[in-house]
Amino acid sequence: MNATVAEAVAFADSAETLLYDLGVKAGRAAWVQANFITHDTEILAAEANEAYVAAAVGLATEAARFNGLDLDYDTARKLNALRTSLTMPAPNDAAKTAELSQISARMESTYGRGEYCPDGADGECLSLPDMSQIMAQSRDADELLDVWTGWRTVSPAMRTDYQRFVDLMNEGARDLGFTDVGAMWRSNYDMDPDDFAAELDRLWGQVQPLYEGLHCYVRAGLAEEYGEDTVPLDEPLPAHLLGNMWAQQWGNIYDLVAPPTADPGYDLTELLVDAGYDARRMVETGESFFSSLGFDPLPETFWERSLFTKPADREVVCHASAWSMDGADDIRIKMCTSVNADDFETVHHELGHNYYQRAYKDQSPLYWDGANGGFHEAIGDMIALSITPDYLQQIGLLDDVPDASSDLGLLMKRALDKVAFLPFGLLVDRWRWQVFDGTLTPETYNEGWWNLRREYQGVRPPTARTADHFDPGGKYHIPNNVSYTRYFIAGILQFQFHKAACDLAGWDGPLHRCSIYGNEEVGERFNAMLEMGASQPWPEALEAFTGTSEMNGSAVVEYFAPLVEWLEEQNQGRNCGM
């Protein structure tokens, strides 16, 4: 019997209600588990999440029944959301679905238990946090190589599982009407999957020259530290020397490449400590930022139910996160806040998520999300870009605003994290797309990974890698099947949002010095975009705030313009190819 339009409308409504109910239960269970880590809370959270995922998979499969019907806009968009929001599509076969879940859990556990036991360490093994700390702090090339290689002994055991994982997910994606999982993921961006891939390449092309200038300068700095035998000036960067286990962000090697005039004239951590800030006051300051834009104060329940500091009597998940518990006003943050510059920025970032969540609360539950995968992260990051010397003076933390000529160090530090990340943010899913569509086979998984890292990042492995290795599996998001493109998009959009806000505010100085604090006109336009949630295609949401429906990387380059000019001077006479 053929499906009807009336059935599709009724199905979308019932699916929305079911997922809302299960989502609230799963969210509350996850909150309790994150704040009271015990054997029992982990089980309760897992059971609630399993119920939600099982329902989502079943609804996505059923939604495919209505493909081809002439549906109204909302029903069609909701059904598409049900079909494309899954990152792990399961086959329409109970035994295969169970197998997929088992493989997923096994890979997650393999990664989570991963450790490296160096020879001669008297039985002492290193966890990933231990190794990450060494990667960040050590300047001993041999030690860094040992740790880099050691972590990658964990992932080869996943390769066979990952191959089967891909096969099963691809079968699930085909059951939902997609050619493969990569096409399914890309279909969640309101564009033809191939057009979306081309759009990402266009954006990368806009920021690539900035990245290449930073790459060239950093390579020279590393060569000076470790010698040109270790860091040849005409080869890609050795992946183990960049201060991060995956060479995805380079801020930890700032001391090796800091400009000679790197002193910004103040230390934000010292300012916060001297002013007597505690965790709650940092959050209150973040709230005041949004209030200055015209947003309503946070509800009293936010202050009653959030976690701001690590409790002394129990273990909690300290990773900073923002939560919407009921799709209404029960919003919270959870973080073990320290009084320092990094957490001051993080507070502003996490509150950006909360204000976004509250802004779209009146939308249908299936629209409770960012306009696309990158919007939510970009919103928080955009707010953090307004933590400028002018802002610090306005809130009484800084007496005198230093001249902009002292900003080079701040821009370099930010570029080492944000600009250096962009190609990595792009290539992780590029690799997976090639795996999903069969371009890469298990025998070429590793070769394809390093080919992309050379092409986009100009980064190479420090030791010979073979098909028996599975280096992609050493990155959390691969075995845990978390899509990564959103982070690249957020890296572009946060600067585009920032420039649009500053233009609306009438700012005429350097873009990196602009703060929108206190501008209610910007806040009104900003909120108009936030209120849309995922109810409209992302180009419409983007246009509501920026005036254009096209993502644009030019604001990234403008933001770092003083650094770009300085890098060009420093790189004169160098071979800057990647």
Q: Is residue 359 part of a domain?
A: yes
Residue 123, pLDDT > 80, answer no
Single out the catalytic residue among 55, 258, 320, 505.
Answer: 320
Q: Where are the beta strands (DSSP E) in 410-543?
A: 459-460
CB atoms within 10 A of CB 429: 22
pLDDT tens-digit series, residues 402-429: 888 789 999 999 999 999 999 999 999 9
Single out the catalytic residue among 116, 211, 487, 517.
Answer: 487
- Does the active-site annotation cover 141? no
Q: Is residue 325 part of a domain?
A: yes
Average pLDDT over residues 438-459: 97
pLDDT tens-digit series, residues 475-496: 988 998 989 999 999 999 999 9
Cα–Cα distance for residue pair 19/511, rounded to 1 Å: 42
Contact of 562 with 546, CB cutoff 8 Å? no
Band (564; pLDDT cuts 50, 70, 90)? very high
Single out the catalytic residue among 215, 349, 376, 469.
Answer: 349
Single out the catalytic residue among 171, 287, 345, 350.
Answer: 350
pLDDT of residue 1: 62
Residue 317, pLDDT > 80, answer no
Structural domain ending residue among the three candidates 54, 86, 118? 86
Q: Is residue 343 part of a domain?
A: yes
pLDDT tens-digit series, residues 178-214: 999 999 999 989 999 999 999 999 999 999 999 999 9
End-to-end CA distance of the chain: 59
What is the count of structural domains for the chain?
2
- Does the active-site annotation cover 498? no
Residue 373, pLDDT > 90, answer no
Q: Is residue 330 part of a domain?
A: yes
pLDDT of residue 473: 96
β-partners of residue 459 are: 237
In 3D space, the residue among 379, 371, 271 whose CA is nearest the CA of residue 322 turns out to be 379
The rounded percent of the chain whose pLDDT value lies above 70 is 99
The pTM for the full model equals 0.92
pLDDT tens-digit series, residues 210-229: 999 999 999 999 999 999 99
Contact of 475 with 488, CB cutoff 8 Å? no
- Does the active-site annotation cover 469? no
pLDDT tens-digit series, residues 329-369: 999 999 989 999 889 999 998 999 999 999 999 999 999 99
pLDDT tens-digit series, residues 131-177: 999 999 999 999 999 999 999 999 999 999 999 999 999 999 998 88
List the alpha helices (DSSP H) in 64-125. Answer: 73-84, 94-112
In three-state secondary structure terms, 228 is: coil
The rounded percent of the chain whose pLDDT value lies above 90 is 73
Single out the catalytic residue among 73, 95, 304, 319.
Answer: 319
Q: What mean pLDDT, rounded, does the chain reach?
A: 92
Q: Is residue 48 part of a domain?
A: yes
Structural domain ending residue among the three candidates 503, 521, 538? 538
Average pLDDT over residues 296-312: 94
In 3D space, the residue among 158, 147, 52, 160 whose CA is nearest the CA of residue 112 turns out to be 158
pLDDT tens-digit series, residues 255-281: 999 998 778 888 899 999 999 999 999
Cα–Cα distance for residue pair 382/374, rounded to 1 Å: 12
pLDDT of residue 232: 95
Cα–Cα distance for residue pair 67/56, rounded to 1 Å: 17
Q: Is residue 381 part of a domain?
A: yes
Q: Is residue 260 part of a domain?
A: no
Q: Is residue 498 part of a domain?
A: yes
pLDDT of residue 121: 61
572 sits in which H/E element: none
pLDDT of residue 124: 87
What domain range is 314 assigned to? Answer: 268-406+492-538
Band (120; pLDDT cuts 50, 70, 90)? low
Question: Higher confidence at residue 230 or residue 68?
Answer: 230
Structural domain ending residue among the three candidates 86, 106, 131? 86
Single out the catalytic residue among 477, 558, 561, 568.
Answer: 477
Helices 5-35 and 39-63: crossing angle in degrees, nearest 10, is 160
pLDDT of residue 390: 92
Single out the catalytic residue among 29, 220, 377, 484.
Answer: 377
- Does the active-site annotation cover 350? yes
Contact of 357 with 370, CB cutoff 8 Å? no
Burial class (CB in 10 A: 0-12, 13-18, 19+), 205: exposed
- Does the active-site annotation cover 477? yes
- Does the active-site annotation cover 348? no
- Does the active-site annotation cover 349? yes
pLDDT of residue 87: 87
